[in-house]
Structure 1
Amino acid sequence: MAEQLHGQPLLRVTGLRKAFGAVQATNNVNIDVRAGEIHALIGPNGAGKSTLISQICGEQMPDSGSIFLDGRDVTSSAAFARARLGLGRSFQITELCADFTALENVVLSVMLRKGRPFGCWGNPRHDEALVAEARTQLAHVGLSSREQVAVADLAHGEKRQLELAVALARRPRLLLLDEPMAGMGAEESASMTRLLRSMKGYYGILLVEHDMDAVFALADRISVLVYGRTIFTGTPDEVRRHPEVRAAYLGEDHALQPALAATTPGEVHAHT
Structure 2
Amino acid sequence: MIRATRGPDGVALLVLDRPAARNALSLAMLEALRDALREAEDARCVVLAAEGPAFCAGHDLREMTAARDDADGGRALFARTLALCAEVMQAVVNHPVPVIAAVEGIATAAGCQLAASCDVVLAAPSAGFCTPGVAIGLFCSTPSVALTRAVGRRAAMEMLLTGRVVPAAEAVQMGLATRLEAEPRAAALAMAAGIAARSGRAIRLGKRAVLDHADCDLPEAYRRASAAMEENLLAADAGEGIAAFLARREPHWTDR
Given the two structures, how large is their TM-score scaled by the length of structure 1? 0.29
More helix by percentage: 2
More strand by percentage: 1
- Between 1 and 2, higher relative CO (CA 8 Å, sep ≥ 6) is seen in 1
